[in-house]
Amino acid sequence: MQLYKEQKLKITNSLTGKKERFKPINEGHIGMYVCGPTVYSNVHLGNCRTFMSFDMIFRYLRHLGYKVRFVRNITDAGHLVDDADEGEDKIAKKARLEKIEPMEVVQRYTVDFHKILEQFNFLPPSIEPTATGHIIEQLEIIKEILNKGYAYEVNGSVYFDVKKFSESFEYGKLSGRKLEDMITNTRELTAQSDKKSPQDFALWKKAEPQHIMRWPSPWGDGFPGWHLECTAMSTKYLGDTFDIHGGGMDLKFPHHECEIAQAEASNGLSPVNYWLHANMLTLNGKKMAKSTGNNILPGEIFSGENPILSKPFAPAVVRFFMMQAHYTSILDLSNDALLASEKGYHRLMDAFDNLGDLVTSGKSDFNVQEWQQKCYDAMNDDFNTPTLIAHLFEAVKHINLIKEGSESITLADKELLQQSMNSFIFDVLGLEGKSADYQDSDKLQAVVQLLIELRNEARSNKDFNTSDKIRDQLSAMGIQLKDGKEGTTFSVS
């Protein structure tokens, strides 16, 4: 069904800073590239939010009837520590610290990445290429940029010449930065640097003797620059110019800016028509960071094994929580926010479950067709999931009133409502219904909470034998109690 012909989609283009009517290069077909993870550690929850935003966008585009080729890469080489042109490769560093092969690191954390995304109910991309699988394509792009005069080779490394490029193209147009300002605000190069200018960036780096990951090239053994891989893989699978490129806000500069420059330097064409950027996730009002301890992994949320949250939360609840904010907005995760989302998720799923049992009549008090179009209007307005969810709860209210007998609905409207809610809840938002496992988890939590209350009562009565028995027997079953200032919580191992 080609809904895209009647639903007029607008998206916020980071390149222009404006909300624009979306028009694909080829009618009915969309090419979309999203920067994937660097697989040197467990996938970060903030990254999950970015990937989830584009999973939702992928889902909605498919729902509208587009044929979408969705490419999301795996960075398994070339991403140096601190996103710089000097220092160690993140994967090679992890391999050295753990005394294993770099590809063991890649395999371990690629598996973790896929496992977490599967739990969040992601659709797989059409193609998931790797940087190491496209070294030849990257070498060819470097040769082309050198031939055009926008790069230079020195001591076995090749650097992109930003000043030279800026004589013919606009470097900084995506991030809104001016080259003159960048030059003014940049420190002088060190004597050891091979670059002509601090703004220049590596296309190919010479591998020092201790560098594990290395490949032969016309300039000697080395490895590709981080920015180059996305240019190589996106253009290989989507063409020199394609429809949508996505990623996190933190990638806008320098990563995406450099992607544009590399593509324009090699073939003279602007590579992407619509740039989309998802915003960050904070934790309890602060930036998430391992160094400060203000950090939580997805698996720790699902298991409850963390010092931050009061209980485990199902992946569907976390996904519902993330969908309640627009993808371009900062979203703050907290215990209270997840508890509220869990209640909302249950309310939505209960209403959907009740929908099939509603008794129909000869008239409707709920204009389902008008409501359905409001849902589409929300999604057509730059994928506005919070507004869509508000409309879904409008339907929940009417479902509950019809169930109580305060309102009525015709059979045709009931079927349309059922089909529409199914599409928006499951196909577009990507939520999963309450499975038997999830319902069993709810029952387990209720039982453990009752035991915690009995234990607290025993402790207040100084019956420590009973309180210790409850704690020890729960522990033997893999349920750990944690006593804190705000009461007792538990985790399941």
DSSP letter string, 394-424: HHHHHHHHHHHTSS---HHHHHHHHHHHHII
Q: Which amino acid is at 400?
A: N
Q: Which fold has domain 307-428?
A: Isoleucyl-tRNA Synthetase; Domain 1 (1.10.730)
Angle at 373 between CA 393 and CA 11, to 5 degrees: 95
Q: Which amino acid is at 334?
A: S
Q: Which amino acid is at 299?
A: G
Q: For residue 74, which of 115, 36, 34, 124 has the smallest C-alpha distance?
A: 36
Q: For residue 383, which of 19, 3, 15 has the smallest C-alpha distance?
A: 19
Which residue(s) pair with 205 in the sheet?
A: 223
**67-72/151-154 β-pairing:** unpaired
pLDDT along the chain (493 residues), means of 10: 94 98 98 97 96 98 98 94 83 93 97 98 98 98 98 97 97 94 76 85 93 95 96 98 98 97 97 98 92 91 94 97 98 98 97 96 97 98 98 98 97 98 98 66 72 85 86 81 76 65
Domain 3-278 in CATH 2.60.40.10? The answer is: no
Number of residues that this document lists for the chain: 493
Q: Is 178 left (phi over 0), alpha (psi -120 to 50) or beta?
A: beta
pLDDT of amino acid 436: 42
Q: What is the DSSP letter of 310?
A: S
Q: What is the spatial distance between Cα 378 and Cα 391, in angstroms, rounded to a whole number?
A: 9
Q: What is the spatial distance between Cα 142 and Cα 161, in angstroms, rounded to a whole number?
A: 12
| Backbone angles phi and psi of 246, in degrees to 5 | -125, 165
How is the chain split into domains, by residue range? 3-278, 307-428, 437-492
pLDDT of amino acid 493: 59
